[in-house]
Amino acid sequence: MTRVLGIETSCDETSAAVLDGSGDDVSVRSLVILSQDVHRIFGGVVPEIASRAHLTAIVPVIERAMQESGDRAIDAIAVTNAPGLVGALLVGVSFAKALAFARNIPVIGVHHMEGHLFATALEHRDAVPPFTALLVSGGHTMLLDVEAWGHYRLLGRTRDDAAGEAFDKVAKLLGLPYPGGPHVERLATQRTSGDGRFRFARPMVRRDQAPTDPDFYDVSFSGLKTAVLNAVKTTADVEHDRAAIAGAFQDALIDTLVEKTTRAARQFGRERVVLGGGVACNVTLVRAMQERFEPRGVQVFAPSPRLATDNAAMIARAGLFHLERGEQSSLDLNAFASQPIPGLVAA
């Protein structure tokens, strides 16, 4: 049994968590997430402000996570070291290395997106490989086939905006606050039923696509965002049509994600679909996935909002997997803005 402290500072959440266990039998002992509210004023994350806020928060957040877990000795530290804002990542990485050195315990760098892959397994015992994974966050959109932990086949990704980014930009066009995803979802539910005046094309979804086509699994949301912009510009009464436009945008985005995920699960004969990332908080998306997959005998797993968005428990969980394989980072561990997810197998 290993006790791991996880640290996550890749974007605008300062988070620490303690978990212990072995293999897929893991218990989260504490999870503290401090969201940096300050970025709301700017309508997006300001990197330098994020770094400074992490510096202020990191000690109390880690102390709190340690206290809540019973203050027992930890065996190792897992920290997000890529991808993300380098200045923000460095706060977590520097702290993790200093603590590991002081306590003479191993430190392991974790890829943020691999963390998202593990998040759902913390709550659902069956959300383990083999499965089809759809990771949809503010910075990334990835469709993967996960044959086993550490064996990831990247099938598709976004060619432009990430799914969460599309929600955030559309929210801005509709005059909603940042981050926009939850606001767009709420507005979409206020659409008058049967209001079908707006319908946007499903990007990169055509009947004649084959698995060997480069756009079979990829997604692209910038055209959809432009379609929303045009709708906002041309409608006579934006105030009146906001909910209908938000609903039509969400329909197109969700349909696209459900279709691409279906292709992946069918192609690899998977019986489980695992969702992750902030956009997996979208109840309409999760329901659409369940409606598509459950009649086919495929189970859909989505994390609760606390584990869907950025958190250190998922980082500790992914770190534990690597530690159990005998891996660890050295004290020259660095932070990287982008890096391929480790364990990629050829598509």
Binding residues for Zn ion, rule: CB under 5 A, are 137, 310
Q: Which is nearer to ligand KG4, 5 or 285 (by Cβ)?
A: 285
Tell me, rounded to whole angstroms, the distance of Cα 334 from its chain centroid. Answer: 22
Q: Which of residues 249-288 bind ligand KG4 (CB under 6 A)?
A: 277-279, 281-282
Query: What is the per-residue burial (b if ≥16 Cβ within 10 Å, else e) of 97-110?
Result: bebbeeeebbbbbb
Inter-residue contact 29 to 19 (CB < 8 Å): yes
Q: Which is nearer to Zn ion, 15 or 137 (by Cβ)?
A: 137
Give me the DSSP letters along 277-291: SGGGG-HHHHHHHHH
Q: Which is nearer to ligand KG4, 76 or 279 (by Cβ)?
A: 279
Q: Which is nearer to ligand KG4, 45 or 76 (by Cβ)?
A: 45
Q: Binding of ligand KG4 at residue 247 (CB under 6 A)?
A: no
The enclosing H or E element of 254 equals: helix 238-268
Residue 15 interacting entry, from Zn ion, ligand KG4, none, C-beta within 5 to 8 Å by type: none
Q: Binding of ligand KG4 at residue 92 (CB under 6 A)?
A: no
Q: Binding of ligand KG4 at residue 161 (CB under 6 A)?
A: no
Q: Which is nearer to ligand KG4, 51 or 209 (by Cβ)?
A: 51
Q: Which residues pair with 80 in a beta bridge?
A: 110
As measured in angstroms, the least distance from the Cβ of 37 to ligand KG4 is 14
Q: Which of residues 3-22 bind ligand KG4 (CB under 6 A)?
A: 11
Measure the CA–CA gap between 239 and 2, rounded to whole angstroms.
55
Inter-residue contact 157 to 218 (CB < 8 Å): yes
Measure the CA–CA gap between 55 and 13, rounded to whole angstroms.
12
Strand order in the sheet with 299-301: 299-301, 272-276, 131-136, 141-148, 151-157, 344-345
Inter-residue contact 126 to 272 (CB < 8 Å): yes
Q: Which is nearer to Zn ion, 137 or 141 (by Cβ)?
A: 137
Q: Binding of ligand KG4 at residue 164 (CB under 6 A)?
A: yes
Q: Binding of ligand KG4 at residue 310 (CB under 6 A)?
A: yes
Inter-residue contact 2 to 323 (CB < 8 Å): yes
Q: Which of residues 115-154 bind ligand KG4 (CB under 6 A)?
A: 137-139
As measured in angstroms, the least distance from the Cβ of 310 to ligand KG4 is 4
Exactly one of 14, 158, 309, 329 binds ligand KG4 (CB under 6 A); that residue is: 309
Could you list the residues that contact ligand KG4 (CB under 6 A)? 11, 137-139, 164, 167-168, 179-182, 185, 277-279, 281-282, 309-310
